[in-house]
Structure 1
Amino acid sequence: MTRKFLWGIIILLLVTNLTTVAIWMIERNNALPSPMGVEVNTDEPVATIGKEEIFYEEWVKDLEANYGKKALEELVNREVVSQLAKEEDIEINDKLVEREISLLFTMEGPLTEKQIEAKRKEWEKEIRYRLTLEELLTKDIEVESGEVESYYNDYKGQYDFKESIQLSHIVLPDKQTAEKVYDELEAGASFAALAREYTMDEETKANGGYLGYYTENDTFLLEEYYNKAMEMEEHTYSEPFLGGTGTVILYLHRKLPDITFEYEELEHHIQRELALEQIEPAISAKSLWNEKDVKWIFDE
């Protein structure tokens, strides 16, 4: 995984957290329930520790003192980037966004379809914001075309995303036990719960049989597992089959497809990445404020 992608993940998480705080601070004066997802009664403590109580106003004052300025700054950043992006007619490569989303999913455990959709929306918003910000910050920086092509030839493999499958399994001692477990699945039992009860694989037992994400040529993935997974739909389990050290029931959580790029699709993106190296560590949307005549309450 590249340093630039790790930086992107850090920024994504920071921006998401600051935006949540900003929205909370704006909405708290207009409505309770709060955006934290709980009803708030300002006459009652929000927490009790022994005989000590913490009330809503104390909680919010602490948030404002520690995060208020940063949260407002992030809201201003987003609006400045949005306005400038429209003026500059900036478009972000959809395949690059999808590649980053796929990479982020491979860092997650099993998710429900609802959770998948929520994370996809959240990540796409933050990735597009970050890439748009990078585009604005580097638009006037020159990078030689030969340098871009040379970088592509050296590192083009790091941009492709290999098809990945997310799996869980239950390993059983014989066909009779496997059929019993399969019947319980058919009756609506939880795959993870059955794995914790029946599987012979001690390494995955506590995690409900969860194995993780694998690519086709992963040395830790049994060929029988890959072949079976390729026949399955997402969020389904297989019939029992022989695999590894026993009879297996496989669960396919996700199947993320290949994402590959030609040079022409990456040329501008690499140019932007190389340009970013010329301005690090000063990567901030605040440097764009003077283009939109920003005024805020923290002005001296």
Structure 2
Amino acid sequence: MKRYEVLKAVVILQAVCMIALTGMVMVKVWPLPGLRGNEQGEQTSPPAPTGSEGSGQKAVATVGGQPITGAELTSELYRQYGDEVLRVMMLRRALELESKATGLRISQEELDREIASVAEGYGDEEAFYSMMREQLGLSKEQIQEEYRYRLLLEHITIKDITVADHEVDRYMQDHPEQFEPQLQFHLRWIVTNTREQAESVLAKLMDGESFAAMARLYSQDEFTAEDGGDLGMIDADDPFYDGEVLAAAAGMSVAEIAGPIELTEQGYAIIELAGRKSTSNLASDRLFEQARKQLALERAKPLNVMEDELLKRYDAMIMK
């Protein structure tokens, strides 16, 4: 899973936690769009939840002496995330029911392998959990639970898909890039608006200034400046990063600094290669089963279709 997919998943998870704390009060049955309609066949959306009288009017912040109440915060969270978060919560309940009905479970070993695979893009698991905690306020337990549900959905989706051994062999031959070690760079960068600024920063670095300190002072990249310009671990062929930067990193030694590099969209960059590694091959039997699962997922119905079927199977309804 790419980093942007992880972020999307955990932002939704964070919204689940935030809205759950507001204490939603819902009293009438409201059918899920696409599952059931109301008596007139119309689709409606659940209203923002309201807290107990008085408690929602307590100020949680002030700006210029004007309060922002708990009720306003709850309403805004519900407006932005309500439909999607409620669907996630209902899907989790449906998945648990299906797990009990089918006997499918996610072992701790499988969960650990999945987390380790995701964490490769962040350096290691400690760095991955630290980033999620610092930037999104999510605990290790919350992250693991999110991935447990994802794996469970995949297992439920492919449980009736049969993939023969010879088909797996052919799939691995046709997609060698998915099963070979991959080169990764651990990069830091400082982004400036002009070449002159970049050359000035580079001169300071050559005089012994700290790369992290220079990034905090001069980098125009707001997403990495506070972290000393740290981009984490990046695949050598990652299409979401500037090709010139990756090409330069390929010819660098660890701890070497290079630049200025003209960027496609952001000006100029000074980069430091903090480390490199090649993802190691898994044991052959694990690679084989990984390929079997991937092929099964390609043949199975899309995961979002499986989600809709589970909600229908367990009469999912929203209370209004």
TM class by smaller structure: 0.5 to 0.7
Whether 2:184 is the aligned partner of 1:156: answer no
Whether 2:282 is the aligned partner of 1:258: answer no
Figure out how many residues of one structure are paired with residues of the other and give that number.
246
1:25 maps to 19
1:138 to partner: Cα distance: 0.9
Q: Which TM-score applies when normalising by structure 1? A: 0.57
1:276 maps to 297
Report SS of the residue matched to 1:88: coil
State whether residues 214 and 221 of structure 1, in contact with CA within 8 Å, keep that contact through their aligned partners in structure 2: no
Partners in 2 of 1:133 and 1:149 — Cα distance?
A: 25
Amino acid at match of 2:57: T
Whether 2:288 is the aligned partner of 1:267: answer yes
Identity of aligned residues (%): 20
State whether residues 42 and 57 of structure 1, in contact with CA within 8 Å, keep that contact through their aligned partners in structure 2: yes
1:16 maps to 10
Q: Which has the higher contact order (CA 8 A, sep 6+)?
A: 2
Partners in 2 of 1:257 and 1:124 — Cα distance?
A: 25
1:288 maps to 310
Partners in 2 of 1:64 and 1:249 — Cα distance?
A: 41
Partners in 2 of 1:71 and 1:244 — Cα distance?
A: 44
1:62 to partner: Cα distance: 4.6
1:98 maps to 116
The partner residue of 2:248 within 206, 210, 220 is 220
2:105 maps to 89
Partners in 2 of 1:14 and 1:214 — Cα distance?
A: 19
The Cα RMSD (Å) is 4.9
State whether residues 56 and 71 of structure 2, in contact with CA within 8 Å, keep that contact through their aligned partners in structure 1: no
State whether residues 143 and 271 of structure 1, in contact with CA within 8 Å, keep that contact through their aligned partners in structure 2: yes
Partners in 2 of 1:130 and 1:142 — Cα distance?
A: 21
Partners in 2 of 1:192 and 1:69 — Cα distance?
A: 41
1:212 to partner: Cα distance: 6.3
**Per the alignment, do residues 156 and 96 of structure 1 end up closer, same or farther by CA in structure 2, a change over 3 Å counting?**
farther
Report SS of the residue matched to 1:166: strand
Alpha-carbon deviations, 1:57-93, whole Å to 9, x = none?
2442354356434323312322443454473234326
Partners in 2 of 1:149 and 1:62 — Cα distance?
A: 51
Alpha-carbon deviations, 1:165-190, whole Å to 9, x = none?
42347744798x33xx4xxx6xxxxx
1:193 maps to 213
**Per the alignment, do residues 257 and 128 of structure 1 end up closer, same or farther by CA in structure 2, a change over 3 Å counting?**
farther
State whether residues 168 and 250 of structure 1, in contact with CA within 8 Å, keep that contact through their aligned partners in structure 2: yes
State whether residues 15 and 74 of structure 1, in contact with CA within 8 Å, keep that contact through their aligned partners in structure 2: no
Structure 1: runs of 5 or more not aligned: 31-39, 186-190, 230-240
**Per the alignment, do residues 70 and 47 of structure 1 end up closer, same or farther by CA in structure 2, a change over 3 Å counting?**
farther
Amino acid at match of 2:22: R
Report SS of the residue matched to 1:265: helix
- Listed as ranges, the matches of 1:1-300 within 5 Å are 5=1, 10=5, 12-29=6-23, 42-44=57-59, 55-64=69-78, 67-82=81-96, 84-85=98-99, 87-91=103-107, 92=110, 94-103=112-121, 105=122, 114-115=130-131, 121=140, 124-160=144-180, 162=182, 164-168=184-188, 171-172=202-203, 177-178=207-208, 181=209, 191-194=211-214, 213=233, 219-221=247-249, 225-226=253-254, 229=255, 252=274, 258-277=279-298, 278-280=300-302, 282-289=304-311, 293=314, 296-298=317-319
**Per the alignment, do residues 90 and 209 of structure 1 end up closer, same or farther by CA in structure 2, a change over 3 Å counting?**
closer
Amino acid at match of 1:25: I
Q: Which TM-score applies when normalising by structure 2? A: 0.55
Report SS of the residue matched to 2:282: coil
**Per the alignment, do residues 20 and 297 of structure 1 end up closer, same or farther by CA in structure 2, a change over 3 Å counting?**
same
Amino acid at match of 1:16: V
Report SS of the residue matched to 1:225: coil
Structure 2: runs of 5 or more not aligned: 25-54, 190-200, 238-245, 260-269
1:238 maps to none
Partners in 1 of 2:11 and 2:230 — Cα distance?
A: 29
Partners in 1 of 2:205 and 2:58 — Cα distance?
A: 61
State whether residues 19 and 75 of structure 1, in contact with CA within 8 Å, keep that contact through their aligned partners in structure 2: no
